[in-house]
Amino acid sequence: MRSYTFVAAAASCVVATSAASVDVPRQTSGTAGCGISHWFNGITQYHSLTSNGTSRSYSIHLPSNYSQDVPYPVVLGFHGSSSIGLFFEVDTGLSGSQYSANKIMVYPNGLGGAWAGANYSDATVPADLTFVSDLLTEIRANYCVDDSRIYATGMSIGGGFVDTIACSEVGSQFAAFAAGSGSFYTDNNGVGGCTPVKTPVPVLEIHGGADPDVNYNGGEGEGGIEPSIPDWLSWWAQRNNCPDSTKTVEDLFNGTGQHYSWTCNGVEGLLQHWKVDDMGHCWASTSLDFSCLVAGEGPGPISASSIVMAFFDKFTKA
């Protein structure tokens, strides 16, 4: 069974603000990439690799104060459909120092602008999972990585693919997962439809109650059948041994939003969910971002980037 520890300096979730506490890299053993110096730190750079015989691409953003001798947490950010990693980076602002001053941010690009799982996806689930594993191998070999603090987040089908990773053997390389407006095409058939290698698995999901593309109540989506978000959360609660008696519900924003939290295997907040009743299909933000603009949304009451990074800061993989 995988065990998790809370990082003492973890930031707390902040509602209605875009700022998150800055974490400090821990003194821990790093990967083979420690000792390799890099140019142009603080500027996103673009790379390619061959995975399963196919050329794949990704971008990476190192902290401006990156040290080749200090192991850093790594966050993989998966874009939504008809998109690329650059757009997800810009939309979320996750490369900004308020979120990742001491984290390595990685933005993979999906084949055909999407990730595996939907009926319109170009890549198969095994191929995309192999890409993620190959990508992590390359990152470890070239950068100083804290192997106990690797995380994955994503938007829409990217959020759904984060769940696909969590349900696979590749997921054992990660410490926690977070999805925004997730479309869970590969996890839509009950608690047994997903079999993580080890449990418990820290999971966070943020969703709009008025999402017209990934309906909160589930049903036929753009790429196949999607579960209702309450059902999906209940399946993760069962997988993670989170008794229903431990679930807390906090009403927010004059009753127009809720924060759900479960204690799982004795770990408080290991499973969490944020809902904004009138929010559509976008990356929740307290300032105007591109995904919300496309969805016809203005700034909202929560910052998904703050909430996701604060959640990640709580967990390490033993």
pTM, whole model, 2 decimals? Answer: 0.91
Low pLDDT (below 70) residues in the chain: 1-28
Among 241, 212, 51, residue whose Cα is nearest residue 136: 51
Look at residue 44 in the predicted model and tell me its pLDDT.
98
SS3 state at 308: helix
What span, in angstroms and rounded, lies between the C-alpha atoms of 191 and 181?
A: 20
Provide the pLDDT for residue 113.
Answer: 97
Q: Residues near 65 by Cβ (< 8 Å), separated by ≥ 6? A: 41, 101, 102
177, 150 Cβ separation under 8 angstroms: no
Length of the chain in terms of residues written:
318
Q: What are phi and psi of 156, to 5 degrees?
A: 60, -120
Place of tokens 């977070």: 178
pLDDT at 19: 35
pLDDT for residue 28: 61
pLDDT value at residue 292: 86
Distance CA(60)–CA(104), nearest Å, equals: 7
End-to-end CA gap in the chain: 10
* pLDDT for residue 17: 33
What does the H/E/C string look like for 50-116? EECCEEEEEEEECCCCCCCCCCEEEEEEECCCCCCHHHHHHHHCCCCHHHHCCCEEEEECCHHHCCE
Q: Under a CB-based contact definition with an 8 Å cutoff, are residues 104 and 145 in contact?
A: yes
Residue 83 contacts by C-beta under 8 Å, 6 or more apart in sequence?
113
